[in-house]
Homo-oligomer: A and B are copies of this chain.
Amino acid sequence: MKRSADRTRGVILAAARERFAADGYERATIRAIAADAAIDPAMVMRYFGNKEKLFAAAAEFDLRLPDLSRLPREEVGAALTNHFLDRWEDDESLKALLRASVTNEAAAARMRQLFADQLGPAIMSLSTARPGTAASGDHAVSSASAATRAGLVATQALGFALCRYVLALPPVAALTREEAVAWLGPTITRYLTGDVSG
């Protein structure tokens, strides 16, 4: 009977992810999620405590960033763009997180954490691995700069996802993967490795 619990838990989580992704935090009701999972609403409370904790469990996410420092400098933007599109499309978690983070403070905090804790360090490794600038031990400047670069990448990555997957702006939704990478790649590369004037 233990197995039944794990399975139920999984079904609830899957239904929650779909609902949060489709409707956002407030419009995704526990009753609707329970109905999708074909269980009683009280079960959701039993397994996750309350709606906030359910969302927290449903929106857990790992960007699974590759090691950027192993890539040629000119390909890093295209590679990261491709990786973002992959992560976005093989799971509804990111869509759920984005939709919720616009009106829910806890979700927004998680989004901030995502870029600060996962993208920031990956970018830092990029700059410290750069020959010629690694000699200086000035961590403060280097990490502040990495955080800024992570923020800039976030503006373009989240903006593209917003327009394509949430708002469905026709010209953005119509882009092929290749076109999207061709347009965004150079932008991301500049944010990752360029200086302020290009």
Q: Which residue of B lies closest to A178 (CB)?
A: B196
Interface string of A6-26 (1 = CB under 8 A from B): 000000000000000001101
Question: Given A162-B159, A163-B158, A197–B182 Cβ distance below 8 Å?
Answer: yes
A24 contact set on B, CB distance < 8 A: 26, 102-103
By beta carbon, the residue of chain B nearest A173 is: B151
Q: How far is the CB of A198 from chain B (nearest CB, A)?
A: 5
A178: shortest Cβ distance to chain B, in Å? 9
Residues 140-160 of A, flagged 1 when their CB comes within 8 A of B and 0 if not, give 000010011011101111111
- State whether B148 touches A154 (Cβ < 8 A): no
Check A147 against B171 for contact (C-beta < 8 Å).
yes
> Which residues on the B side are within 8 Å of A184 (C-beta)?
155
B residues near A183, Cβ cutoff 8 Å: 152, 191, 196
Q: Choose from B101, B147, B150, B155 the contact partner of A156 (Cβ within 8 Å).
A: B155
Q: Which of the four size classes fits the interface of chain A?
A: 35 or more
A144 smallest CB distance to B (angstroms):
8
A 169-188 to B, binary, CB cutoff 8 A, 1 in contact else 0? 11110110001001110110
Nearest Cβ on chain B to A121's Cβ, whole angstroms:
14
| Contact present for B182 and A196 (CB under 8 Å) | yes
- A102: chain B residues at CB < 8 Å are 24, 98-99, 102-103, 162, 166-167
A73 in the interface, Cβ–Cβ < 8 Å?
A: no
Q: Scoring A residues 55 to 98 as 1 if CB is less than 8 Å from chain B, else 0, what string do you get?
A: 00000000000000000000000000000000000000000001
Query: Is A186 within 8 A of B172, CB to CB?
Result: no
A158 touches B156 (CB 8 A): no
Q: Do A157 and B156 touch (CB < 8 A)?
A: no
When distances are taken between beta carbons in the complex, the residues of chain B under 8 Å from A172 are: 151-152, 154-155
B151 touches A171 (CB 8 A): yes
Query: Can you report 12 residue pairs joining A to B where beta carbons are below 8 Å apart?
Result: A23-B103, A24-B26, A102-B102, A108-B167, A151-B163, A152-B171, A155-B159, A155-B163, A155-B164, A159-B160, A159-B162, A186-B197
